[in-house]
A and B are shown apart, each in its own frame.
Chain A
Amino acid sequence: DTEVTQTPKHLVMGMTNKKSLKCEQHMGHRAMYWYKQKAKKPPELMFVYSYEKLSINESVPSRFSPECPNSSLLNLHLHALQPEDSALYLCASSQDQGSGANVLTFGAGSRLTVL
């Protein structure tokens, strides 16, 4: 299995809703990432988990809350989002975090619209 699976593919939510994005990989990768990508922009790193521990939080607002229940799963909990948070949210994984040839395998993304 060489895939990263993300659900849902599309999500529309109001500013008072609470929702979650889910990501799963079965490649035995020990690093997992959340990226946010706006149209015509590169991916913007949000969080990195290494060996199920949060290793990087790129000053992301607290309305985004990551969770790594085990080595295969990564969640992103969303609460009280703003319309400007609408974007494509990409999950990625890699064998580990601290090495050179650290190829990221991306999921297909969850397209989030905040009304």
Chain B
Amino acid sequence: GQNIDQPTEMTATEGAIVQINCTYQTSGFNGLFWYQQHAGEAPTFLSYNVLDGLEEKGRFSSFLSRSKGYSYLLLKELQMKDSASYLCAAMDSNYQLIWGAGTKLIIKP
């Protein structure tokens, strides 16, 4: 079957760095997405990886290892507004998104 695993909840301190991990098993693979979702709001796109390696975009970076079925989202210089859920989603061979349950990130002052 197809499956995405990510931690349910993480806590970090303002100004620090946090890494949110995601492992996936899909039928075929066409890329890995990260979305941010604030409570009661719609998800917004953060990153897309289809090749191995690190993609950096400002304070956020995303990493992919296809051989390990593994990705992480790295958030630097954490701000209070980064408190949100972070959703990992892998695209299978039919271009369908398989969603993880999301990681709720709590930022403390």
Contacts and interface: CB of A to CB of B under 8 A. Distances in A.
Interface of A: 40-45, 56, 88, 90, 97-109, 111
Contacts of B97: 45, 104
Given A108-B41, A108-B42, A99 B95 contact: yes
A102 B89 CA distance: 12
A50 B43 CA distance: 21
Interface in B10-56: 30-31, 33, 35, 40-45, 48, 50
Contacts of B101: 40-42
B63 to A, nearest CB: 17
Interface of B: 30-31, 33, 35, 40-45, 48, 50, 87, 89, 91, 95-97, 99-102, 104
Given A101-B50, A107-B42, A108-B41, A43 B95 contact: no
Contacts of A98: 95
A90 B100 CA distance: 17
A42 B100 contact: yes
B29 to A, nearest CB: 9
A61 B50 CA distance: 34
A106 B48 CA distance: 16
Contacts of A43: 43, 87, 99
A21 B45 CA distance: 23
Given A42-B102, A101-B48, 10 more contacts: A56-B96, A90-B42, A98-B95, A99-B95, A100-B31, A100-B50, A104-B43, A104-B97, A107-B42, A109-B41
